[in-house]
Structure 1
Amino acid sequence: MADESRGVNLVGFFRAEFGQGEVARRLAAALRHAGIPHTTILYEDIPHRQEHPFEAVDGDLHDVNILCLNAEHLIRFAESPAGRLLADRRSIGVWFWETSRFPDYLRPALKFVDEVWVASEFVAEAVRASTAVPVHVFPLPVEAPTEGAVTRSDLGLPDDRFLFSFVFDFHSTVSRKNPDGLIDAYITAFEPNDGAMLVVKSINGDKFRAGLRALESAAAGRADIRVVDGFVPRDRIAAYTSLADCAVSLHRSEGFGLTLAEAMALGKPVIATGYSGNLTFMDEENSFLVRHHLTELDREVGPYPAGSAWAEPDVGHAAELMRRVKTDEREAATRAARGRATIESEHSLEQAAGFLAARVPLLHDLWRERRRSSTPSQCASAFLTRGPQASWSQPSRLGGIGLVYRRLLMRLLRPYTARQREWEHVVVDGLRELELSVEKLHRRLDELERQRTGS
């Protein structure tokens, strides 16, 4: 029987149709598989469509939160009425980030979490460079999209062409996803009558009309390149991958690359830029990695700050690999089989459930230990939450006129008290980071001592 005292509150965009919503749903599945009691808490403050079916799990609240909210979303959550959930609980942020540098404007989110879980070492390195908060890489469960009864003709695609497929969301920053670079590579690789076809399936192009028009313009004059935008039923969006002969991505950076992992789970050969989070599950043996050179953003691009590293994929090499996959069926099938085996062994539901089964009890132990102790940063944080004992609204010795003068004084001082409040938060955050750094140093010293003694 499940121990209800060891349960978790799982917060996420459970009905949203984008990557992080899918991650929340898969973590819910992993918690069920592990037999861990949990309550799901739906959060909807996101511009994505929210029509994905999901059966919520109601129940009592637990002492541990798993928050499938990226840093920017967590800040909004914490500032909303729902943020009360964070009080007096141990909270874990499940975060994704897509470049080498974690930006300063997201650092305030770190004060709301006790540790961060990420799906790739690439993201872990970016976050660890910005904080002493513990960061753990967890095995994101990957499931092969269901292969239904949808056919190529249902999608308006020919049966006699070797089909390359790329699926993306315009909300994910089109310049990072680099679909125009993929179109360039395809045009370099094939003539219209070479028996190949490229389909670029996107969503939310209606919200980024200039980007969608530019993509359609890049494909103009080539009937063997299809740009298809818009939401379609779930079985049809899955079919764009399951009916393809090869999945391709010439991204400039990825936090993980869930659609690539799903294609590998289906046993498809995958071509992708050999950089960033997709190297968690891709290598030269199980996929086709595109050569690249690193560049540095000289300006802010979407949410990504100047100074971040991006890869510039080699279009010529990508074209070479696309031709190779089309002509050498044996090599493509061999690597595809290895790719499927990698996903099944390293990113299964069982792997994720095992991680949760081992980690969640420890989180409860850490929470109880924290409640028994009281560090300087915890005391200071509690003071900021409760405020001073003396209230601006307490009775005045001067009666009503005293309250009027006090309110007037409070209004005059508001710019200065707001600045004081900001400074207090900076001091408390700095104190917490210092304590975490000391804890991290102690853990490292303990590890070195064990290595020295061989214990």
Structure 2
Amino acid sequence: MKYTGVYWLGPVYDMGGYGNVSRNFLRAFESIGIPVFIHSIGPEHQEIGESTIKWIKNLSSNQIGDRVVFIRHGLAELFQVSFAVPHVVKNIGVTLFETDRLPEGWASFANLMDEVWVPSRFNYDTFSKSGVSPEKLKVVPYGIDVTKYSPGRPCKKLAFPSSVNSFVFLYVFGFDYRKGYDLLIKAFCDEFSPAEDVSLLLKVYTHSDIDPEFALSEIQSHIPPERCPSQIAIIPEPYSEEDLIALYQNCDVYISMDRAAGWGMPVMEAMALGKPVIALRWGGSTEFMNETNSFLIETEEALVPVDAKLQAARPRYYLHHQWADVKIEKVRQVMREAYVNKKRREQLAKKAAADIHQYYSPARIGTIIKKLLS
């Protein structure tokens, strides 16, 4: 390899999606034997587990040599910040975005890098159309720890709320207006009667800048009183990674209604565990989801403006952006099919696990990285 080591700057201890991605990149570097110095930024969540924290600390090395690749993982604003890292011969930014374009300034920040790694062809297109030099863009998919997320692992039984019915749709998400929980709740209530033995379980976590009580009340405002908690239950409590895996294992179908997914790590985790999944056929998740391994909700041909509440709440990132147009009838149709068609659920789940384990293991992503750095 041309380079002696990697200086990794990213949210490695974060329980959220960015932290998960950072750790999986570290596993990929570990698989190809390139030394990494780990510079942690952002929150440090103990929920990732003591063994993971110990692994990160043991993996970090000061011996990364005199031809260093400096990789920054996070929002593109991070690319303009000056850091005193010695012996850097290449600067790489790792990021993504979920709508049809980039926030203002992001293209300029990205063009400061020698390379920008994006996880999907979807983002290759949106970044290049927004002004990032195409020759800088490299598609490096996100990996997953297939040793943890495996269909054969023992299943821990979780105590669901007593009201939850035997068939469970699960959605795990961080509270945000782009997560489409309102659309999902309406589709569920319109499609399934109170007499049917089916429930929707919403595992929601809130970021540090959001009031948990506000997030909970906002979600509850979309749930008809007669459905909660008899058919729709919310789990707001923090979960460890082990309990989250058990939650996936104890559901029947994982469904994401993320209106704009930069990647879709929870979907990927459920697939790796051998669970049937539902998501939109739009965005970054189409890199690993297709009609052979997933239930896909077809979107309309023309895009529409992102939710007005999202534009108002975060204009810096979403003002004038667009995303897929989703008709509730199509959401209902796919949910019904997933509910009644056990044979297809089993076929898709088996293929999903095989695809994720074959193409998105740390070792497989490591081979992609090794080729780029050779």
The TM-score normalised by the length of structure 1 is 0.71
Q: Is the 8 A contact 1:6 1:37 kept in 2?
A: yes
Give the Å deviation of 1:221: 2.4
Which secondary structure does the structure 1 equivalent of 2:142 belong to?
Answer: coil
Give the Å deviation of 1:111: 5.0
Q: Who is 2:180 aligned against?
A: 178
1:284 to 266, 277, 291: 291
Q: Who is 2:104 aligned against?
A: 104
| 2:305 is equivalent to residue 296 of structure 1 | yes
1:259 to 266, 271, 275: 266
Q: CA offsets per residue over residues 409-452 of structure 1, 9 Å max, x none?
A: xxxxxxxxxxxxxxxxxxxxxxxxxxxxxxxxxxxxxxxxxxxx
Q: CA offsets per residue over residues 277-329 of structure 1, 9 Å max, x none?
A: 11111112221111223212486352533332211322222122212112110
Q: Who is 2:171 aligned against?
A: 166
2:136 to 130, 134, 137: 134
Q: Who is 1:245 aligned against?
A: 252
* Higher RCO, Cα 8 Å, sep 6+: 2
Q: Who is 1:211 aligned against?
A: 215
Give the Å deviation of 1:197: 0.8
In structure 1, distance between residues paired with 2:195 and 2:338: 17
Q: Is the 8 A contact 2:161 2:233 kept in 1?
A: no
Give the Å deviation of 1:119: 0.8
Q: CA offsets per residue over residues 344-397 of structure 1, 9 Å max, x none?
A: 222122210101221223xxxxxxxxxxxxxxxxxxxxxxxxxxxxxxxxxxxx
Give the Å deviation of 1:58: 2.7
> What fraction of aligned residue pairs are identical, expressed as a percent?
25
Q: CA offsets per residue over residues 106-141 of structure 1, 9 Å max, x none?
A: 244225421100111111212122121610111321
Q: Who is 2:13 aligned against?
A: 15
**Pairwise mapping of residues 360-379 of structure 1 onto structure 2 (< 5 A)?**
360-361=373-374
| 2:374 is equivalent to residue 327 of structure 1 | no
Q: Is the 8 A contact 2:164 2:232 kept in 1?
A: no
| 2:65 is equivalent to residue 64 of structure 1 | no
In structure 1, distance between residues paired with 2:40 and 2:264: 24
Give the Å deviation of 1:188: 1.5
Which secondary structure does the structure 1 equivalent of 2:127 belong to?
Answer: helix
Q: What stretches of structure 1 of length at least 5 have no aligned partner? A: 362-455
Which secondary structure does the structure 2 equivalent of 1:237 belong to?
Answer: helix
Give, as a single letter, the amino acid of the residue that structure 2 aligns with 1:181: L
Q: 1:190 to 1:297 in 2, by over 3 A?
A: closer
Q: 1:324 to 1:298 in 2, by over 3 A?
A: closer
Judging by fraction of residues, say which structure has more helix.
1
**Pairwise mapping of residues 75-114 of structure 1 onto structure 2 (< 5 A)?**
75=80, 78-79=81-82, 83-85=83-85, 88-114=88-114
In structure 2, distance between residues paired with 1:157 and 1:343: 33
Which secondary structure does the structure 2 equivalent of 1:101 belong to?
Answer: coil
Q: CA offsets per residue over residues 28-64 of structure 1, 9 Å max, x none?
A: 11111111122212122x5x74653422213134521
Q: Is the 8 A contact 1:287 1:339 kept in 2?
A: yes
Give, as a single letter, the amino acid of the residue that structure 2 aligns with 1:307: H
Give the Å deviation of 1:231: 1.1
Which secondary structure does the structure 2 equivalent of 1:313 belong to?
Answer: coil
Q: Which runs of 4+ in 1 moved over 4 A?
A: 48-51, 144-149, 157-160
In structure 1, distance between residues paired with 2:334 and 2:93: 38
Larger radius of gyration: 1
In structure 1, distance between residues paired with 2:344 and 2:241: 31
Q: 1:157 to 1:148 in 2, by over 3 A?
A: farther
In structure 2, distance between residues paired with 1:91 and 1:121: 21
Q: What stretches of structure 2 of length at least 5 have no aligned partner? A: none
Give, as a single letter, the amino acid of the residue that structure 2 aligns with 1:215: I
- Number of equivalences: 348
1:156 to 158, 161, 170: 161
| 2:226 is equivalent to residue 228 of structure 1 | no
Q: 1:150 to 1:298 in 2, by over 3 A?
A: closer
Q: Is the 8 A contact 1:119 1:140 kept in 2?
A: yes
